Amino acid sequence: MSKLLKAAQAGTVESSDILIRLIPGDAGSGIQVELVSPTMQQYGKHINNLITTTLVSLGIDDVQVNATDRGALDCTIKARVITALQRAGE
């Protein structure tokens, strides 16, 4: 797995959740994460690393991620990334 077939999303913008949107990237573009979160100062780097690590562990190389966090736990973030990947055809 290294390429998404189509754009997909998972999650909501409700409290304690995260909305993950995955958009296929051009070959060689890498993983680009754009994160919006009210906890950006405290947890922004951790959330970004968690999203990136999850994608890398699943073999995804080139993708643009738009994430809108509302205080989601790590397990929720990983689940949303995995679900969005499944919906994208990977």
Question: What is the mean predicted confidence (pLDDT) over 39-64?
Answer: 96
Rounded Cα–Cα distance for residues 86 and 90 (Å): 5
Helix (H) or strand (E) holding 3: none
Confidence of residue 3 (pLDDT cuts 50, 70, 90): confident
Q: pTM for the full model?
A: 0.93
Q: At what angle do helices 74-87 and 40-57 cross, to 10 degrees?
A: 40
Confidence of residue 36 (pLDDT cuts 50, 70, 90): very high
Confidence of residue 90 (pLDDT cuts 50, 70, 90): low
Question: What is the mean predicted confidence (pLDDT) over 23-35?
Answer: 93
Average pLDDT, the chain: 94
Q: Let me know how long the chain is.
A: 90
The pLDDT value recorded for residue 8 is 97
Domains of the chain (ranges; CATH) run: 8-87 (3.30.230.10)
